[in-house]
Amino acid sequence: MISILDEDFSQLNEFLHQLQPTQLLILVDENTHEYCLPRLLGNLETEIPFEIIEIEAGEEMKTLETAAQLWEILTEFETDRKALMINLGGGVLTDLGGFIASTYKRGIPFINIPTTLLGMCDASIGGKTGIDHQFLKNIIGTFANPEQIFVFPKFLETLPFEELRSGFAEMLKHGLIIDEKHWNDLISIKNLTPQSVFPFIETSMKIKQKVVDQDFTEQNIRKTLNFGHTIGHALESLFLLKGKPIMHGEAVALGMICETRISMLHGLISEETSNTIISHLRKFFPDIDTKQFSVEEILNLMRNDKKNSHGTINFSLLTGIGNSAYNCSVDAEHINKSLHYYQNLP
């Protein structure tokens, strides 16, 4: 499922030779078109006809309108069910591209070539596809696995620092919920650079893949991967609604701080452990001003989260560093306290 590409992309060429799709549809955004597509095309060794489909970059593109445009483009290209979509981009593009591929003619095969750290360690893995609607993140989507995920770590060298940091949040999450050694390895990084994270990318990917393999449709243990996302997604949506989007990883880091605090309030971890985790998270991520949103606004969005049922807001919480629990029902008072705590951090 996961292949780390050599310089000549030989694994990708071998895959295409074996699959023999009728057509390649390479989905890119304006950034990956400029910085990553030349590397892909320069190493592509195939006679299979291909089309380049470019969209604008950004979370704002994950909409029904964009999806409709892409379905129309595939129709114009007379794309059949044996074509292959190649999603070359970050989390937004693999989410959107996977959704388009999984719904067009009831599904065509696709592969992900993630170009951001977030894409590599999170979005491209696990078969979750989706688009946003009415500022609710990934509220429309499917479960559909890519045929393969190909990772070329050097693509990270094309990223601005903020993109690198955004993906790093998901790596830290993997350590916190499952693997204490991974967490300790990551927090020992002094300067966050592509080179400093290279050695840990495959570990993070395998952690997520192992969880997904146990629970593809998120009925139990896969829910632990949502740590930091219940509050994080709500605030990410509010900033998007305000027209001032924040990076996904910044929202997740914020969410992890609040949800670590909730874990402590629930008696699942000690205050010392909570403070230790939060201090490490704040080393890498800036504090974000959330005082512009009321607790009720945040709660309303959290109630719409896909993971809830029977009107209860469910969280995945920490029971230690490297351990977690899911389906934790949290009352509004503790959510309120965690948000107040975050807003008043020194």
At 223, is the pLDDT very low, low, confident or very high (cuts 50, 70, 90)? very high
Asked if 145 and 250 touch (Cβ cutoff 8 Å), the reply is no
DSSP 8-state secondary structure symbol assigned to residue 319: E
What was the pLDDT predicted at 311? 60
Judge whether residue 1 has pLDDT over 90.
no
DSSP state of 287: -
Whether residue 309 has pLDDT greater than 70: no
Q: Over 70: is that where the pLDDT of 307 sits?
A: no
Please compute the mean of the pLDDT values over residues 206-229 and round it to a whole number.
Answer: 96
Q: For residues 88 and 119, what is the distance between their CA atoms, to the nearest angstrom?
A: 10
Q: Which of 229, 273, 272 is nearest to 248 (CA)?
A: 229
Judge whether residue 290 has pLDDT over 80.
Answer: yes
Sheet with 24-29: strands ordered across: 2-4, 149-151, 110-114, 84-89, 24-29, 50-55
Please tell me the distance from the alpha carbon of residue 34 to that of residue 32, in angstroms, as a whole number: 5
**274 pLDDT above the threshold of 90:** yes
Radius of gyration from C-alpha coordinates of the chain: 20
Instruction: Return the top range by mean pLDDT from 125-139, 163-177, 230-244.
Output: 163-177
pLDDT category, 306, cuts 50, 70, 90? low
Q: What is the rounded CA–CA span in Å between residue 54 and residue 322?
A: 40
- Give percent above pLDDT 70 in the chain: 98
Position 217 scores a pLDDT of: 95
Query: What are the E-state strand segments in 110-253?
Result: 110-114, 128-133, 136-143, 149-151
Distance CA 110, CA 96 (A): 12
45/257 Cα distance (integer angstroms): 46
Residue 134 has pLDDT above 90, yes or no: no
Whether 127 has a pLDDT exceeding 70, the answer reads yes
Residue 142, classed as helix, strand or coil, is strand
| pLDDT score at 224 | 98
Q: In this predicted structure, which of 71-80, 194-203, 234-243, 261-270 has the lowest mean pLDDT?
A: 234-243
Strand, coil or helix: 83: coil
Looking at residues 167-192, what average pLDDT do you find? 98
Dist CA 30 CA 98 (whole Å): 18
| pLDDT confidence of residue 52 | 98
Q: Which residues contact 86 (CB under 8 A, 6 or more apart)?
A: 24, 25, 26, 27, 40, 110, 111, 113
Mean of pLDDT values over 113-123 = 97
Q: Using one digit for the tens of pLDDT, what is the confidence trace for 75-94?
A: 999 999 999 999 999 999 99
Residue 195, CA atoms < 13 Å, CB-side half-sphere? 2
C-alpha 150/C-alpha 39 separation (Å) is 13
Cβ neighbourhood burial of 290 (10 Å; 0-12, 13-18, 19+): middle
Distance CA 131, CA 128 (A): 10
Q: Please check the confidence at residue 216 and state whether its pLDDT lies above 70.
A: yes
pLDDT at position 308 is 67
Question: How confident is the prediction for the chain on average, in pLDDT?
Answer: 95
- What is the H or E stretch that residue 235 is in? helix 229-241
pLDDT cut 90: percent of the chain above it: 92
Tell me what pLDDT residue 310 has. Answer: 58
> How many secondary structure helices (H) and strands (E) does the chain include?
14, 10
